[in-house]
Amino acid sequence: MNTAPPQALVLDFGGVVTKTLFETHPLTERALGLTPGTLTWRGPFQPATDPLWRAMQADEISERDYWKTRTREVGQLLGEEWRDMSTFVRRARGADPQAIVRPEADRAIHAAHAAGIRLAILSNELDLFYGADFRERLRLLSLFEAIVDATYTCILKPDPRAYQAVCEALDLPAGACIFVDDQKRNIEGALTAGMRAVHFDVRDPSRSYAETLRPFGLAIPS
């Protein structure tokens, strides 16, 4: 067991730094002019009523496949053909990216940065889902010294090479990093790669960030 103090915090993006699209259905419905309650799929919040989510969790489809289907469905509600997730995100969430950042994430990331903890993002689809200009519009991302995005590397978590890439970007061994993700398969991949890891619960972000910061001797500022 690795007992040395960790040196870096590596975060997944969607769901960990930002609220999930499941949580922002009311915002999406208002932005798109849909009747409240139109969007009924709830993913991890109500898996029993979301068979597509259950199929993704069972590795029958990929996370990208899940969101491709939801993107197409929502576009069809508007009589439009949406081909990429960035269209969905931009149309659903408007021009203010800060509005969808978890407040717990904002406080935790700033606290870690102020404490000298090195920060990195390891995402399967940051620019694919949010658009290539998103990084410039979300100031919080300027605190991260490395962003490894499979939009460009084409290496998806839980492939061991994804974790290796972010370790190489930080020039740190895997054991010096704590990785945080809301998908269990990606946590298992990180552990196999030698990282320490926290399985982020989107239903309880405060507890998840408290668990994340604890090994660094930090607490989430109030």
How do the domains of the chain map onto residue ranges?
8-18+101-216, 25-96
* Number of residues assigned to the chain: 222
Q: Is the peptide bond before 158 cis (omega within 30 degrees of 0)?
A: yes
Q: Report the share of the chain in percent with pLDDT over 70.
A: 98
Q: One-letter amino acid identity for 212? A: T
> In whole angstroms, how far apart are CA 16 and each of 91, 171, 181?
21, 23, 6
Fold topology of 8-18+101-216: Rossmann fold (3.40.50)
CA dihedral 71, 78, 45, 111 (to 10 degrees): 70
Q: Taking residues 62-88, what's their average pLDDT?
A: 93
**pLDDT digit string, tens, across residues 185-213:** 999 999 999 999 999 999 999 999 999 99
Question: Predicted confidence band at 184 (pLDDT cuts at 50, 70, 90)?
Answer: very high
Residues facing residue 180 across a β-bridge: 11, 198
Q: Which residue has the higher pLDDT, 97 or 45?
A: 45
Q: What is the pTM of this model?
A: 0.92
**Separation CA 171–CA 178 (nearest Å):** 14
